Amino acid sequence: MGKKRVRVGLMGMGTVGTGVYRLIQGHQEDLLHQTGVEIEIAKILVQNKEKKRTIDINSDLLTADPYVVLHDPSIDVIVEVMGGVDETKEYVLHALQHGKHVITANKDLMALNGEELLNEAVKNGCDLFYEASVAGGIPILRALVEGFSSDRITKMIGIVNGTSNYILTKMSQDGASYEDALQEAQRLGYAESDPTADVGGLDAARKMSILSTLGFHVGMNLDDVTCKGMENVTIEDIKYAEKLGYRIKLIGIAKKDNDLIEVSVEPAMVKQSHPLASVNGVFNAVYVYGEAVGETMFYGPGAGELPTANAVVSDLVTVVKNMKLGVNGRGMVAPYNEKRLKSNDQIFAKYFMRLVVHDESGVLAKITKLLAEHNVSIEQVIQKPHQSIHKAELVIVTHVSSKSGINYVLQELEGLEHVDEIKSFYRVEGNGE
């Protein structure tokens, strides 16, 4: 590449876009030393050119027409931080088809259309990087692609949604109710007015879809991720978890055994000795198991203007270096393994269940017999009086059991005469299985 300057089209000027602009403008000398060229923001797509902004921007750079950015032949790289899926997908495809490299922070876009976009990038000899789409400032995607390139990843578990982690931290440390903790998260700007995507697990599921696609080299779709939200986690559950040596976290789990894959997002009990149990507040962490390297953890801020913008600009530096070497698009690895998902009888874990039962002799024996019929054995059990007369609360932690066996147990417990209610049910992680 004989260029002395790389021109960037910035699509979006919200929180992350503002951060990208700040970093590029403020770190010109560092970027020049790292890449050997000047990096210039040539055009910025905004919704409203007249809007007052927190930083001074030359109004000549602003446009409300995306095709002013996409059709500018002098622009080498598109940075997409505008969000959205369908329209944004068309813009990204258009950019790639016209030989422009793309960097995006859009997890929704990549979770739903990643395979198609990556294939288009390879076809056109372009780079498509999306480090900021999964864990904000944590360089987890680059680690999977480069750091684990000669290893085989067998498992990834992580806290990849800061909002849910903040709420569970408040409940655990301060004894706040779910409702009070959510309101506090909304007041501080950690949660949206409609927090469904965060607390319902959808945001984390999108990120786990991206992680498993990269980590296992398969074309994972969002529909392949089993998703359960944390809205029903109670203070009582958290107290029982603490008593048993666990903490409850909304965990993303991606596991591969003998080429069979399972991916889920769910509130799970994590052993207090496991590093993920100590990840609090809005921080994210991803724990990666590799056959060669063993266990590693990546930890840091999962969102925010500058951490996320830093991931975007780091991708930009990589694109520019690739341009100088003439290797754009060659490092892109589209999924190449066959996707084979586990059935429920191939998924194994420990489980926690809390029941309200009749306080009568023989009830525990009947439940134990039911579990045994489905090859589920008990590791721990706690029984204590319930607030209702002649009722008891029964807490059971199983040994490693199949998901299908546990599902049969739950179905039959619902109809068992001496069981009033299944109060809660969680997967148990972090014991080294």
Is 52 annotated as catalytic?
no
Please tell me the least confidently modeled range out of 240-244, 251-255, 361-365. 361-365
Q: Is the model's pLDDT at 165 over the cut of 80?
A: yes
367/372 Cα distance (integer angstroms): 9
Higher pLDDT: 304 or 380? It is 380
* The architecture CATH gives domain 145-301: 2-Layer Sandwich (3.30)
Which residue is catalytic, options 43, 107, 207, 423? 207
- Percentage above 70 pLDDT, the chain: 98
- Mean pLDDT on 387-414: 93
- Mean pLDDT on 308-331: 91
Helix, strand, or coil (residue 209): helix
- pTM comes to 0.89
CATH number of the 347-429 domain: 3.30.70.260
List the domain boundaries for the chain: 5-136+305-325, 145-301, 347-429
Single-letter amino acid, residue 433: E
- Per-residue pLDDT band for 433 (boundaries 50, 70, 90) equals very low
- Mean pLDDT on 157-164: 95
Residue where the block lists tokens 């975007």 = 312
* The architecture CATH gives domain 5-136+305-325: 3-Layer(aba) Sandwich (3.40)
Mean predicted lDDT score pLDDT of the chain: 93
Which of 357, 340, 341 is CA-nearest to residue 394?
A: 357
